[in-house]
């Protein structure tokens, strides 16, 4: 009997203490900060043709970096996110504020600085974001990759034909990149063509199947005469029959974006669905 009473006392005093503790940290106050309800939609297009710049969704695709400047000068960027494979991006959970928006991908950098850090050009955006906002980046992609004909399937191997052309002229590239320092004509060399195969429709570098994806490598200026030519590429291994796979090709030049990251990003063509039979 006594023990029960003591237990009751402990219970009550415990509750009392809890309420004292809670009340001291504005527990009952409403969090009145506006929820992140701003939506930013964007697309990345080729300035010459107006076509979307296709990419892969992941660290090697087109990176979108937002920095909320409302906090003052010493701010760190928001966590990065990446474009969707079709070259568009969308973020529906942003706080309203003043933002710096920039993208990095397989195109001439938007923000260009010389070797001493002096700014040469800045095509990034600074804008107030509220409600739903749309932005469009017009860029100069390095390469354009296109399918030629339909792929052929034989004995579990896919044979596809692609054409790679320059989307930015070497002269334009040099004019814009040379002032950034360390320029060499070798930066323009096409180094490899990738042929990605996957069961996933978001096929690309990140969602490829190692067993079947293949690639062609080129050293030095070896690829230059092949620009605009039809290139045949064959998948690796043997893909089991009876299912569809998705394929995509990508090519890149010997230039990393942003400079110093060592990440050389690919330009892609659109994914194709192929039935293996």
Partner 1 sequence: MKKLLIILALAGTMSLNSCVDLDIQPKNIVTDNELLSTPAGMDIYLARIYSMMPFEDFKYMGEWGFEYNGWLNSIGIEGTGEAVNRDGITTSFRGERTPYWGRAFETIRDANHLIENLPNYKDNFSEELYNHYLGEAYYIRATVFYTMAKRFGGIPLVTKLIQYPGSTEEMEVPRASEEETWDQILKDFDEAASLMMPKSPKVGYSNKYVALAFKSEAMLYAGSVAKYNQTVSGRLTGLGRKTGVRVIGFDDGTWESASKRYFTEAYKAARDIMKNGGYSLYKKKWSENDPEAQYQNMVDMFSDLSSPENIYVKEYIYPTSTHAFDAYNLPFTFRAPLSSGTCPTLDFIELFDGFDRYPDGSIRVTTGANNASGNYILYNNAADFFEKAEPRLRAYVIFPEDQFRGKQMEIRGGVYTGNTPIKPFFNNYSYSTADTRYQNLDIFSKSPKTLYLSPREGNSQEIVDYNGKQMTAAGAEGPFYDNGEATITGLYLRKWLNPSPDAEPGEGKSSQPFVLMRYAEVLLNAAEAAVELQLAGVASPDGSNLLQVASDAVNEIRERAGAIKLSSNITADITGRNIVRKERRKELAFEHKAKWDIRRWRVNHYEGRDGFWGENRDKNKFSNNENYRFRGLYPFFSTEEGKYFYDARFQWVSSKTFGYTPVDYYWEIPSAEVAKSEFIDQQPNR
Region from 21-29, 85-93, 104-112, 255-263 binding partner 1, contact rule CB under 8 A: 255-263
Of these, 210, 225, 228, 277, which contacts partner 1 (CB under 8 A)?
210
228 binds partner 1 (CB under 8 A): no
User: Would you count residue 126 as binding partner 1 (CB under 8 A)?
Assistant: no
Closest CA relative to residue 142, chosen from 113, 161, 110, 169: 169
Query: Tokens for 156?
Result: 């579990």
Q: Produce one character per residue of 143-168: b if its CB has 16 or more CB atoms within 10 Å, e if not.
A: bbbebeeebebeeebbebbbbbebbb
Judged by CB under 8 A, which stretch of 21-29, 169-177, 221-229, 257-265 contacts partner 1? Answer: 257-265
Contacting range for partner 1; rule: CB under 8 A; set: 24-32, 103-111, 115-123, 160-168: 115-123
CA distance 136 to 65: 14
C-alpha–C-alpha distance, residues 267 and 255, integer Å: 12
138 binds partner 1 (CB under 8 A): no
- C-alpha to C-alpha distance for 185 and 174, rounded to whole angstroms: 8
Give the binding range for partner 1 (CB under 8 A) out of 26-34, 73-81, 103-111, 269-277.
73-81
Using rule CB under 8 A, residue 29 touches partner 1: no
CA 179 – CA 261 distance, rounded (Å): 19
Question: By rule CB under 8 A, what count of residues binds partner 1?
Answer: 26
Smallest distance from the beta carbon of 257 to partner 1, in angstroms? 10
Q: In this chain, which of 155, 182, 219, 277 binds partner 1, going by CB under 8 A?
A: 182
Q: How far is the CB of 194 from partner 1 (least distance, A)?
A: 8
Instruction: Indicate whether 178 belongs to the interface with partner 1 (CB under 8 A).
Output: no
260 lies in the binding site for partner 1 (CB under 8 A) = yes
Rg (CA), the chain: 26
Instruction: Annotate 150-172 with DSSP letters as a single string.
Output: EEEEETTEEEEEEEEEESS-HHH
Which residue lies nearer to partner 1 by CB, 17 or 199? 199
Backbone angles phi, psi at 267, to 5 degrees: -95, 135
Show the CA angle centred on residue 124, arms to residues 76 and 194, nearest 5°.
95
Does 86 help bind partner 1 (rule: CB under 8 A)? no
State the nearest-atom distance from the C-beta of 165 to partner 1, in Å. Answer: 23
Q: Which is nearer to partner 1, 46 or 142 (CB)?
A: 142
Residue 109 and residue 232 in contact, taking contact as beta carbons nearer than 8 Å? no
36 lies in the site for partner 1, by CB under 8 A? no
Min dist CB 23 to partner 1, Å, is 30
Q: Which residue has the tokens 């110093």?
A: 260
Binding site for partner 1 (CB under 8 A): 74-76, 115-117, 181-182, 192, 205, 210-211, 213, 215, 236-237, 254-256, 258-264
């Amino acid at each position: 009997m006594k023990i029960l009473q003591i237990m009751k006392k402990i219970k009550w005093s415990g509750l009392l203490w809890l309420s004292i503790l809670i009340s001291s940290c504005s527990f009952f106050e409403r969090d009145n900060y506006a929820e992140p309800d701003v939506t930013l939609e964007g697309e990345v297009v080729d300035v010459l043709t107006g076509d979307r710049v296709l990419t892969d969704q992941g660290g090697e695709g087109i990176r979108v970096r937002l920095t909320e400047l409302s906090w003052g000068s010493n701010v760190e960027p928001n966590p990065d996110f990446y474009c969707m494979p079709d070259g568009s991006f969308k973020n529906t959970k942003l706080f309203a504020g003043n933002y710096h928006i920039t993208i990095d991908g397989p195109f001439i950098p938007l923000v260009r600085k010389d070797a001493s850090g002096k700014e040469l050009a800045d095509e990034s955006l600074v804008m107030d974001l509220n409600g739903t906002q749309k932005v469009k980046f017009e860029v100069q992609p390095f390469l354009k990759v296109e399918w030629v004909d339909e792929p052929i399937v034989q004995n579990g191997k896919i044979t596809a034909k692609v054409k790679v052309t320059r989307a930015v002229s070497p002269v334009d590239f040099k004019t814009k990149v040379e002032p950034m320092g360390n320029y060499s004509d070798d930066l323009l060399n096409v180094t490899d063509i990738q042929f990605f195969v996957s069961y996933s429709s978001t096929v690309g570098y990140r969602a490829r199947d190692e067993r079947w994806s293949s690639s062609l490598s080129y050293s030095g200026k070896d690829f230059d005469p092949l620009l605009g030519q039809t290139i045949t590429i064959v998948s690796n291994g043997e893909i089991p029959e009876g299912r569809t796979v998705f394929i995509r090709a990508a090519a890149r030049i010997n230039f990393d974006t942003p400079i110093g990251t060592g990440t050389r990003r690919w330009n892609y063509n659109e994914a194709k669905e192929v039935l293996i039979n």
